[in-house]
Amino acid sequence: MKYVLMFAETAQYAEDFAAMTDAERQAAYDEVGRWFTDHAARITHHVHLKPAHTATTMRKVDGHAEVTDGPFVEGKEIVSGFVEIEVANLDEALVVARTWPACPIIEIRPADA
Amino acid sequence: MSGPRDELSRVVRDQAGRLAASLTHLLGDFSAAEDLVQDAIEAALRRWPVEGVPDRPDAWLFTVARNRGLDVLRRQARYREKLTQLQWPTREEPDDRLRLLFTCCHPALPRQAQVALTLRTICGLTTGQIAAAFLVPESTVAQRITRAKRKITDAGIPYRIPSDSELPERLQEVLTVVYLLFNEGYLSSTGDGVWSRRLAEDAEWLASSLAWTLPREPEVIGLLALIRLHQARAAGRFDADGRIVLLPDQDRERWDHAAIAEAGQLIARAAASGRPGPYQLQAAIVACHAEAPRWEDTDWAQIVVLYDMLLAIAPSPVTRLHRAIALRYRAGPEAAMHELDGLAGHLDRYPLFHATRAELLRALGAPEEAREADRRALDLTANPAQRAILEDRISWT
């Protein structure tokens, strides 16, 4: 089955990341790089999104399209990227997601093949 | 002589999980298998009272489930071939039912759905019975089950026993569901005598099935011991009119002392693994009560130590409240009251908090405040037996 792992950042995570030294930040990037290498066989697609302030949201209300700035989730959690993986079932998707070394929230959803 | 309903209850409890497991195993489709079993149970509910209980009730259920499967899947030839190969009794595969239990209690399902699904699939309760036990509308239970089954299929929740590395966490979910079932049955928030007793028995049965399949998991054994100990004291907990008898007043002769001794052995076996956990510790606390020959002999010092260990592993305000109750008998009501003061913000909606405060206030010579606390507890209690105790106290003191 195909699953999409959607990674979400929190305000706290962004703050912690900003407070890191360059060396610490590099180490964090390296960990993410290792994660992609470790799961390369299962990753079919992956996209990292530009920061949340670049987002635009369109809401369709009564046939009328209303365009606003910012991400569609106006809370503290912001989707920062996604990965598509091919695994047998949800438990295998959870095993992959568990080792993700960066931002703290991951939504796991099956995708139509 | 037992009636068709009693006989059906017995067969369903013993066989429904096994039936669902074997059908799931063959069809590879949890939802379809579970529907077939429920259909068969509902057919038995209608037909046995009229036609009489069949000679081999388990085989009857199996045949009905299988035939319904054939009806439903007539157009799906590959399933049909598989279904006709099914035999009853199935080859004994003890892991099948366990696999089903882990599917029902998968962490991707909401807790209430885990509970409903386990009761329906493993214990064979109908949606109506589950609704009655938890005092929610039947349509709510039906919807929870439908959504959960859809999620199992759509999200790709597998039908498998978790690997060793996943087991501790996943087992936690399963044990929580069994524990919730037992709590609901032990002192039902709804107060419906018949179904709450049935839930407690179902929980005991699930715990013993788990302990049979996973004999090396100390928390499984701990939970089984905990449930057995509570069940062993059941005969002393209510008087002839169904009113709660408080622990100090219970007739300890009526407790099942053989079961208490066996539970003690279970606790020792679990402890030998050197991996203590919340269920083992709770069982050890209940054992302190169950093994005391008289209320006056209760080893409160030991109980306080066990609560300290429990709080170190699983801190919670409710556990702190129970520790405070034990502390009252070791260090006096003032020490206990001091603990309670620290909990006020956390447990305002918990009736036992106010009932305990009332008892301590009474011991400390403040009857007016005590009555106020009892009234607060009464406002928050739905269980009729608990209400009766509180009402008594308010009118007599």
Query: Would you tell me the crossing angle of helices B384-396 and B367-380 to the nearest 10 degrees?
Result: 160
A69 strand-pairing partners: A56
| Closest chain B C-alpha to A95 CA, distance in angstroms | 9
Per DSSP, helices labelled H in chain A are 11-18, 22-38, 90-98
Closest chain A CA to residue B165: A95
Residue A32 domain boundaries:
2-111
Give the closest residue to B359 by CA, choosing from B338, B373, B347, B346.
B373
Per-residue model confidence as pLDDT tens digits over A51-60: 877 788 788 8
Residue of B109, B154, B159, B169 to mutate, testing the A interface (most A Cβ within 10 Å of its Cβ): B154
Q: CB distance A90–B166 less than 8 Å?
A: no
B330 is written with which tokens?
Answer: 């070791």
Does ipTM come in above 0.85?
Answer: no
CATH of residue A102? 3.30.70.1060
Per-residue model confidence as pLDDT tens digits over B322-366: 999 999 999 999 999 999 999 988 999 999 999 999 999 999 999
Q: Which pLDDT score, from 0 to 100, does residue B76 have?
A: 66
Residues of chain A neighbouring B162 (CB-CB closer than 8 A):
91
How remote is the C-alpha of A66 from its chain's centroid? 26
Per-residue model confidence as pLDDT tens digits over B52-73: 999 999 899 988 988 887 776 6
Per-residue model confidence as pLDDT tens digits over B214-245: 889 999 999 999 999 999 998 888 887 777 78
Cα distance between residue B372 and residue B209, in whole Å: 46
Closest chain A CA to residue B155: A110
Q: CB distance A110–B160 less than 8 Å?
A: no
Q: How many domains does chain A have?
A: 1
